Amino acid sequence: MTHRFGLRVYYEDTDLAGIVYYANYLKFIERARSEWVRELGVDQAAMKRDDGVVFAVRRVEADYHAPARYDDELVVETGVETVTGARLVLTQSVQRNGEVLFSATVTIVAIGESGAPARLPAAFRRNLH
C-alpha cells in the first residue's frame, strides 16, 4: 500500500536561488507521514492519551537526487518496508511529475511517556494491513 500526499513549493521553502532548502524535504515527508497515519484512522493525540505511546523518528537515511523549485507541484509517496513490535520502517520519496527528487528510508519507533521503547499499539498495526 502506497500513500500519496500532494504539496506545492512555496517561496518560504526555498533559498535565494528558488531551490528547495535541503532540510525542508524532511518537513515534506513528515507532513506526508502525519497525513498517512490520519488516513489510517489513527488519532495520535488519542493514542498518546489512551495508550501512553507516541511515535519518534529514530533514523533517516536520505538521498537528494534533483532540486525542487519554487511553485513546483510535488507528490510524497510513503510505503511500509518493515513492521516489528515497536518499530516501523518506511520508504518515502518526493517526486515531481514522476521524477524522484528526494528519497529516504525512515525508521519510526514507538516510545512511552518515559521515553523508553514501547510496542506499537495493536490497532495501529492492524490498520497497516
Q: Active-site residue numbers? A: 15
Which is nearest to 64 in space by CA: 108, 94, 32?
94
Q: Which residues pair with 65 in a beta bridge?
A: none
How many other C-beta atoms lie within 10 A of the C-beta of residue 67?
Answer: 16
Cell of 116: 523508553
